[in-house]
Structure 1
Amino acid sequence: MDSSTEQLIRAAIAEDVGNGDVTATYFVPEESVSKARIAAREPGVVAGMEVALRVFQEIEPRIEAKVVLKDGSPFEAGDVLLELSGPSRGILTGERTALNFLQRLSGVATQARRYVEAVKPHPVQIWDTRKTTPGWRLLEKAAVKAGGGTNHRMGLYDHVMVKDNHLAANGGLEELQAAIDRVKQDRPDTRIQLEADNLEQVAGFLTLRGVDMLLLDNMGPVKLREAVEMNGGRLWLEASGGITLETIRDVAATGVNAISVGALTHSARALDLGLDFL
């Protein structure tokens, strides 16, 4: 587990526990040992199991856990995801923090699975975006993968994405080509993607060298098909902008290679999971 996730877990525990779980300390005997399980109250896809386990380990190392369903596994209401045994106080103290992670991340995985299923049988990838919860990006993108989606760039540091505001600040095609050349010289392994808002931009971008991908932003199916035809298989094409479960199949049918959906992360609903003592 990466250090940033470890820090996030410790911060979440500190936020909830503070200087001690008053209820568990006064109302649960120190010697009490219990068994418990986390079960689903609605269907979904598991994500965040490793984080949930680490929460309990951080709070009480004597807690033993048995993972029943691994990340990426589908489940129905009533299915058991995780079984726990050990000191009752530790299980109770870790319950909410563990569930917060597991419910949120399983919600993202479930959302991603819905979109992945919606585009079948078209061979198109479903990509996430940078529209993630601050501090949770690695976890939410891992949850997208658990749901069958594909991670786009992780941040501003690993992939060039020249969007409309960059273009407005940079100038025309000549200046754009010069900037692309500088990137290729300084960082030859970095992918370069340009955002096109219309077919005229697509035509212009296809004249440039060193471009790997185009983002076709807020184009309907008709224009997307035209862009795919203009491209002729030269560059990887990503469609984006306001795409929903109701419209994504039509977008997938246009022949684009990928569809990015911010809603995979920014609009995913936490699933209803619960922890119960046996």
Structure 2
Amino acid sequence: MTTIWSQHPGPRTVRNDVNALECGIPKHFGLYYAMGTALMMEGLLSACYHVCPNYTNFQFDTSFMYMIAGLCMLKLYQKRHPDINASAYTAYACLAGVIFFSVLGVVFGKGNNVFWIIFSVIHILATMLLSTQLYYMGRWRLDSGILRRMVHIIYTDSIRQCSGPMYIDRMVLLVMGNIVNWSLAAYGLLERPNDFASYLLAIAICNLLLYFAFYIIMKLRSGERIQCLALVCILFTAVVWGLALYFFFQGLSTWQKTPAESREHNRDCILLSFFDDHDIWHFLSSIAMFGSFLVLMTMDDDLDTVQRDKIFAF
């Protein structure tokens, strides 16, 4: 939050800075403040969960993880589409829907075929709608005429003219993203994992990584470059995330077993004779999250002197 505040110019400064008004990606800091607040709330609710870890209150630990993943994707989209970005009401309504489904999955998801069918259908439909939004860059409307327009486009472009996609790069990346999401939906429908909160978190993380990779690839394909500071942040964050996940997967305890059985997985503390592997996971993951936010802040610094009408939208 301190980093954002130090980078956030006042309204008078922006009005007097012609370069800030005409060059670079528009500086919107609201989502950064939201991401910082969500990270603090994640730490608080994670502490609440660790008082008595169990299946029911694990959703406290994951709720703001969904929020952070959604806000990061929204920020990536806002960078290139500041004029058609989702409103705060729409964005938080969607995030509230995700958390609501998380609660339903925790309460009703175990062995409930009807729930998994409904969730998988909604997952696939949401993937298709978001893919359409990304491919056409907001030049479509979700209203009562959407089916008629889809049939008309399929007939004119695929049947009568048999024309290929207009944006090849974007199409290839979105097809890959759809394959991943459809595979996750099929896995959930067939396997019906007991830990629905972790399954939903895996979907959120996979989509965030896919969109980040999409953004980086399209940025490089557009002839832009990643400056040294942003590259250092990316490499540093990747290394710290790798170390954090190493300690996370040590499996020193589990709430899926009784307390006595869970204690059988415990090992001696390795840091200052007080902190164990899971504590180190929390230290490193918090640093990695901070690094991830820095990546979002710095990855487009190379465009600060580029006229906005020459910046590619994708």
| TM surpasses 0.5 | no
Point out which structure has higher relative CO (alpha carbons under 8 A, 6+ apart). 2
Determine which structure has the larger strand proportion and give its number: 1
| TM score, norm. by length of structure 2 | 0.24
| TM score, norm. by length of structure 1 | 0.26
Structure with the greater alpha carbon radius of gyration? 1
Determine which structure has the larger helix proportion and give its number: 2
